[in-house]
């Protein structure tokens, strides 16, 4: 019985994502409908869920969401065996989406109203982190707003624990070391300017002072 229910849910889930028309051609669903498959982890409003380590994606620019979904699809991101959270995200981008759907869902994510994530770091020194942020400013902007010309995403408003986890991943090579990941490869040396986890927490505490 349980299996039947699981199967029914799976079929219902697939039906909300891809849709095969009677003539056999695949029809691209609108981004809003595609997003139903993302909401279980990232939330209806895209603000993420800390308990399952799903980041806040509400209002991220379409170019960045598109680029990240493409990376998950190709394995440039999220395929490293130690990338536990990336491995959760990856199947979604791979099994169910084609390029048109990636574009449509990315455009929808960009329309979601930005939500500022609640801070969680306890032992971080934002004032100390302000000094390290001087290195980041050229790409991510003085208010963490990002810069499309440099492929640098906005950081303002994102969960602090997520930003710290990404800095660790860049530094250890779980993210950004794959030769397919050109823009991750640009970020990776920057993570190496932060000597330890405390320095990462400090710079992220500074980023958390930016409004979104
Ligand atoms: C099973 C849960 C799950 C589902 C479903 C899911 N995601 Fe994710 N997603 C995650 C997790 C966890 C991460 C963080 C990976 C990490 O920490 O490295 C993530 C990361 C991302 C990122 C990277 C954010 C950034 O700032 O770099 C984007 C963009 C994203 N997801 C978009 C989507 C979209 C769009 C969908 C629906 C098509 C989706 N996700 C479905 C769990 C999920
Ligand atoms: C040379 C430009 C450049 C500089 C300088 C730079 N970054 Fe980045 N950063 C990037 C790019 C490009 C990406 C996107 C990588 C990708 O496409 O996966 C990124 C991604 C990130 C991410 C992941 C965001 C997410 O949503 O997953 C974090 C966190 C981050 N940078 C923090 C920093 C911090 C902190 C500094 C300063 C110590 C810094 N960056 C300096 C270019 C830069």
Q: Compute the distance from residue 89 Cα to the ligand 1 centre, in Å.
A: 5
Q: Compute the distance from residue 185 Cα to the ligand 2 centre, in Å.
A: 10
Q: Indicate whether residue 48 lines ligand 1 (CB < 6 A).
A: no
Residue 78 or 95, more confident: 78
For 120-166, the pLDDT digits (tens) are 999 999 999 999 999 999 999 999 999 999 999 999 999 999 999 99
For 50-77, the pLDDT digits (tens) are 999 999 999 999 999 999 999 999 999 9
Residue 27 or 65, more confident: 65
For 179-210, the pLDDT digits (tens) are 999 999 999 999 999 999 999 999 999 999 99
Other beta carbons less than 10 A from residue 173's beta carbon: 14
Q: How far is CA 117 from CA 14, 19, 40, 189, in A?
A: 30, 34, 18, 27
CB 118 within 8 A of CB 56: no
Q: Indicate whether residue 95 lines ligand 1 (CB < 6 A).
A: no
Q: Is 146 left (phi over 0), alpha (psi -120 to 50) or beta?
A: left
Q: Is 53 left (phi over 0), alpha (psi -120 to 50) or beta?
A: left
To test ligand 2's pocket by mutation, which of 48, 145, 152 has the most ligand atoms within 8 angstroms of CB?
152
* pLDDT value of residue 173: 98
Report the atom number in ligand 2 closest to the C-alpha of 191.
Answer: 38
Task: Please tell me the distance from the alpha carbon of residue 61 to that of residue 69, in angstroms, as a whole number.
Answer: 13
């Amino acid at each position: 019985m349980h299996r039947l229910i699981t199967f029914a849910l799976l079929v219902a889930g697939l039906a909300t994502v891809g849709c095969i028309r009677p003539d056999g051609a695949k029809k691209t669903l609108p981004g809003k409908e595609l997003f139903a498959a993302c909401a279980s982890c990232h939330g209806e409003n895209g603000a993420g869920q800390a308990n399952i380590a799903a980041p806040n994606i509400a209002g991220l620019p379409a170019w960045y969401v598109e680029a990240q979904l493409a990376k998950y699809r190709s394995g440039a991101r999220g395929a490293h065996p130690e990338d536990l959270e990336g491995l959760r995200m990856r199947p979604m981008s791979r099994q169910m989406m084609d390029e048109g759907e990636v574009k449509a869902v990315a455009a929808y994510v960009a329309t979601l109203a930005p939500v500022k994530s609640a801070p969680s770091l306890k032992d971080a020194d934002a004032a100390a982190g302000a000094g390290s942020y001087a290195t980041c400013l050229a790409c991510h902007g003085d208010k963490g707003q990002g810069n499309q010309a440099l492929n640098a995403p906005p950081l303002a408003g994102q969960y602090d624990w997520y930003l710290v986890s990404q800095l660790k991943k860049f530094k250890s090579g779980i993210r950004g070391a794959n030769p397919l990941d050109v823009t991750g490869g640009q970020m990776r040396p920057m993570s190496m300017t932060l000597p330890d986890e405390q320095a990462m927490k400090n710079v992220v505490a500074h980023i958390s002072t930016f409004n979104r």
